[in-house]
């Protein structure tokens, strides 16, 4: 494919999207000899003292697409928080939430029903960090908050 020397990181993704008949514009990065092409093709050729008649093998790679919806209102709340919540942690499968409050209470909530499952009491200091089993294989009553004994 012949491309203009002025084509660079902004124009090349448009070419690839058109060539692949993508319905929406997807982001791509381009590499020549394992080096990302960050300048127009003509600039790259001049910098590397290459002829415009030479075939320039270029690899394209789709970049990640992040779609984030802005939060402009509170969509849900979980009752039972008398004080500020210091930290939260979602379970690996996203069905439960562990949280710690200023008043030395911590506990676990079911996100489907939006209800507390149980509260851990008796902390002598604030719980500043919460962690779950990384693979989620342990049952919830075996998980515990950092710095505490199992409930």
Among 5-19, 26-40, 63-77, the minimum mean pLDDT is found in 63-77
The CA distance from 26 to 24, in Å, is 6
Give the pTM: 0.44
C-alpha 61/C-alpha 26 separation (Å) is 10
Q: Report the pLDDT value the prediction gives residue 136, as an integer from 0 to 100.
A: 58
How far the first Cα of the chain sits from its last, in Å, is 65
State pLDDT tens for residues 74-122: 666 666 666 677 777 777 777 777 766 655 556 777 777 777 777 777 7
Question: Residue range 5-34: average pLDDT?
Answer: 92
Question: What letters, b where the CB count within 10 A reaches 16 and e where it falls short, cover 55-79?
Answer: eeebebeeeeeeeeeeeeeeeeebe
């Amino acid at each position: 494919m012949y491309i203009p020397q002025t084509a660079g990181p902004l124009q090349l993704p448009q070419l690839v999207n058109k060539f692949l008949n993508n319905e929406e514009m997807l982001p791509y990065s381009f590499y020549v000899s394992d080096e990302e092409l960050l300048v127009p093709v003509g600039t790259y050729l001049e910098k590397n003292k290459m002829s415009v008649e030479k075939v320039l093998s270029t690899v394209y790679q789709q970049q990640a697409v992040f779609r984030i919806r802005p939060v402009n209102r509170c969509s849900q709340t979980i009752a039972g928080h008398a004080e500020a919540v210091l930290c939260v942690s979602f379970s690996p499968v996203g069905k439960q939430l562990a949280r710690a409050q200023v008043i030395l209470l911590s506990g676990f909530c079911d996100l489907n029903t939006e209800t507390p499952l149980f509260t851990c009491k008796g902390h002598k200091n604030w719980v500043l960090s919460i962690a779950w089993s990384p693979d989620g294989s342990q049952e919830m009553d075996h998980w515990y908050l950092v710095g505490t004994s199992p409930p």
